[in-house]
Amino acid sequence: MDLTPIKRIASLIQDNVSKVIVGKDDTVELMVIALIASGHVLLEDVPGTGKTQLAKALARSLDGTMKRIQFTPDLLPSDVSGINFFNQKLGDFEFRPGPLFAHIVLADEINRATPRTQSSLLESMEERQVSIDGETRKLEAPFLVIATQNPVENQGTFPLPEAQLDRFLMKLSLGYPTAAEQFLILQRYRQQDPLDQLLPVVRRAELLEAQHLFTQVRVSDELLHYIVQLAEATRSHADSALGVSPRGVRALMKSAQVYAALRDRDYVLPDDIKALAKPVWAHRIMLRTRSRQQDLQVHTLLSSILAVTPVPTEVKLG
């Protein structure tokens, strides 16, 4: 099986994004994995760490359309999905598409919108379609939502419900740059914003081919059982109020397939699953006791589950 197209477009996008984002190669690779796996991404971090820059750099690396929505408390569902308005010249109603009708949608500060507006994304993220006034309109592939939110500011924000969180393939964080990385950022941005010079490096048809091709990467029955065991452990753990959903189980399998393809393999290994369990599953688990250290506690819980769950010792690759 020739997986070269997947690795090629991943390399092109990562190299292009690295012209804007300094020293976050692991996060950029996970973003690319989500893109190829047709999954949405939630970027959560403190202000000024480059969440929006990363999302824009990824979007500009593709030749598709990109729309940005600044979420605010007064944003209406129709501002996101679109509206039927009466065209007086034509004497009839006409549909005016909202920013959801794009290949890459940047939902900036998504938790600032009310739950009613947030819910306008549910159908589009899961079914790649939008229903307005009883009419369903399909969204053109590829369709990817990249949302950002600030974890430390609570005033004027509305936490994302579990149903919405579960629709994100991954939840990622950039974190602060090191001193050396910060110095490179200052040098790079001293005269101009490199984002302004970024050009598309991957055609839409190439991405669609990769999104179809990765599904051919083999996942043995032993590894499918392993993923199911891990998911069951998140549901039965004493500290867990909400475990990983069946959607989350599929998300981990798909992500592992892309991860393997980027490493020149047409089969998945247990280490691929272990490497992706936290970015794919951590935001789907709710603990019985809520605290400010929720993310850290969930990561600790997943680490303990990965440590005690038996790993398949013989994996059939054929």
- Reported as a single tens digit per residue, the pLDDT across 216-272 is 999 999 999 999 999 999 999 988 889 999 999 999 999 999 999 999 999 999 999
Please tell me the total count of domains within the chain.
2
Task: Report pLDDT for 275.
Answer: 97
Closest CA to 195 of 67, 55, 53, 59: 53
Cβ count within 10 A of residue 257: 25
Task: Report pLDDT for 154.
Answer: 65
Is 140 in the same domain as 224? Answer: no
Is 300 in the same domain as 197? Answer: no
* Residue 63: burial class (beta carbons within 10 Å; 0-12, 13-18, 19+): middle
Task: Report pLDDT for 84.
Answer: 83
Question: Of 163, 191, 215, which one is at a domain's C-terminal end?
Answer: 215
Task: Report pLDDT for 101.
Answer: 94
Is 154 in the same domain as 84? Answer: yes
Is 179 in the same domain as 58? Answer: yes
pLDDT, one tens digit per residue, over 295-304 is 889 999 999 9
Question: Of 215, 249, 270, which one is at a domain's C-terminal end?
Answer: 215
Is 241 in the same domain as 144? Answer: no
Is 203 in the same domain as 222? Answer: no
Task: Report pLDDT for 151.
Answer: 78
Is 85 in the same domain as 15? Answer: yes
Task: Report pLDDT for 316.
Answer: 62
Is 221 in the same domain as 197? Answer: no
Closest CA to 240 of 279, 277, 294, 278: 294
CA quadruple 182, 17, 35, 165: dihedral positive or negative? positive
Q: Taking CA 144 as the corner, what is the angle to CA 252 and CA 49, rounded to the nearest 5 degrees?
A: 85
Is 146 in the same domain as 2? Answer: yes
pLDDT band at 14 (very low <50, low <70, confident <90, very high): very high
pLDDT, one tens digit per residue, over 151-209 is 766 667 888 888 899 999 999 998 889 999 999 999 988 888 889 889 999 999 999 99
Question: Of 172, 190, 215, which one is at a domain's C-terminal end?
Answer: 215
> What is the residue range of 95's domain?
1-215
Q: What is the CATH number of the domain that holds 279?
A: 1.10.8.80
Asked whether the whole model's pTM tops 0.95, one would answer no
Is 148 in the same domain as 273? Answer: no
Is 201 in the same domain as 80? Answer: yes
Q: What is the CATH number of the domain that holds 38?
A: 3.40.50.300
Is 208 in the same domain as 229? Answer: no
